[in-house]
Amino acid sequence: MKVLASRIGEGGALRPLRLAAVAAAVGIAAAPGLALAQAAEPRAPKGPIELTIGTSAGGTPDVFMRRVAKVLNDEKIVENPIGPVNRVGGSWMVAANHVLNRPKDENLVLVITTPLFATPIVQGIPTVHDRLTAIGLFIFNDVVLIASPALPVGNLKELVDYAKKNETRVKYGGAQAASTDRIVAGLVEKETGLKLNYIPFDGGGAALAAFLGGNVDLTATSVDEAIGLVKGGKAKPLAILTDTRRPEAELKDLVTAKEQGFDIVYSQEMGLFGPPNLDPAIIAWWDERLRKMVASKSWDEATKEMYLRKDYIGADKARAKVDGMHDQHQTILKEIGLAKK
């Protein structure tokens, strides 16, 4: 089995830009609306901006986006104070509904990532991403499967051998059913033949706390977090879920799942979307601000520190990109038996 999460800047295929979807996002006619969004004179919102995050404090999206807010404000790229707000519940649907119910709100943006399109697929409810206003994607993160130091295995192949030999159901901790954690667990099960004991928590931060407390054996996390835990003796890396090994000196010894005979490739993408019918002038302002951030020295330093792949997908292409992410996750979730539609 070969499972590829959407990849930007790595040759990932995207569907053509769907003008009707973009028009729905900005609330105006298709072709003129797209031209207007692209040609609109950027206009900043007045007052503080809420950065809505659908996971608990300490989860991967929360950590990344608080860093984004800090760079934007500290570098004066955005003069408005940006306040990250965690609106947890319903596998990101509490956060999504908060934004959906505030159309045209210029002082509100939502972090868009895996659960925004995976949760509707898993729960069999209407899609969410296509009712929001596309702004931009700029976080591209690889994932590492890690094990507790107490588990007597050193890589993914040894985990499989150990679990099958001992007829053990290894405890895997993660966030809700539509999270990256659950998807990775499903991919591991499907590719290895293991049956994991998946234990859901209310967000990635809580799952990590359970892992560090010795209450679960496995979890999946970002590269930067995995490296910190490994260096501190609090985790063992079993596999990085990339096509090939990362080139950084600190990461070159992270063995891929593919090298171990398990064709599992998965990554996370994140960005910002706005409420329905957001003014094209605000979209243009955000696009301008985010492009400036991605080009800044501070962001270059942040991506290196957090081991992110550096890229930017602007407002003109973000809709098509997320449509593609939705379709790819629908395929993945069907393959691992979690899709209801």
CATH number at 317 reads: 3.40.190.150
Last residue of a domain, which of 221, 241, 260?
260
313 and 331 in a single domain? The answer is: yes
64 and 204 in a single domain? The answer is: no
28 and 125 in a single domain? The answer is: yes
104 and 200 in a single domain? The answer is: no
Strands 133-147 and 236-240: antiparallel
Instruction: Please report whether residue 6 resides in a domain.
Output: no
Mean pLDDT of 224-232: 95
Are 92 and 100 a contacting pair, CB within 8 Å? no
**Structurally, how many domains does the chain consist of?**
2
pLDDT of the residue at 21: 36
123 and 94 in a single domain? The answer is: yes
Instruction: Please report whether residue 57 resides in a domain.
Output: yes
- Looking at the predicted structure, is the pLDDT value of residue 7 above 60? no
130 and 159 in a single domain? The answer is: no
Domain extent at residue 228: 142-260
Instruction: Please report whether residue 8 resides in a domain.
Output: no
Instruction: Please report whether residue 340 resides in a domain.
Output: no
Mean pLDDT of 71-95: 96
Last residue of a domain, which of 260, 292, 319?
260
pLDDT of the residue at 5: 40
Instruction: Please report whether residue 3 resides in a domain.
Output: no
29 and 173 in a single domain? The answer is: no
Instruction: Please report whether residue 10 resides in a domain.
Output: no
Q: What is the CATH number of the domain that holds 174?
A: 3.40.190.10
Instruction: Please report whether residue 7 resides in a domain.
Output: no
170 and 313 in a single domain? The answer is: no
37 and 115 in a single domain? The answer is: yes
State if pTM tops 0.85.
Answer: no
155 and 72 in a single domain? The answer is: no
Instruction: Please report whether residue 296 resides in a domain.
Output: yes
- Looking at the predicted structure, is the pLDDT value of residue 36 above 70? no
254 and 164 in a single domain? The answer is: yes
152 and 226 in a single domain? The answer is: yes
- DSSP secondary structure string for all residues of 115-180: HHHHHHHHHT---SGGGSEEEEEEEEEEEEEEE-TTSS-SSHHHHHHHHHHHT---EEEES-TTSH
CA distances from 73 to 30, 76, 269, 293, 307 (A): 34, 5, 22, 10, 22
Q: Give the model's confidence band at 17: pLDDT under 50 very low, under 70 low, under 90 confident, else very high.
A: very low
Tell me how far apart the terminal alpha carbons of the chain are, to the nearest angstrom: 21
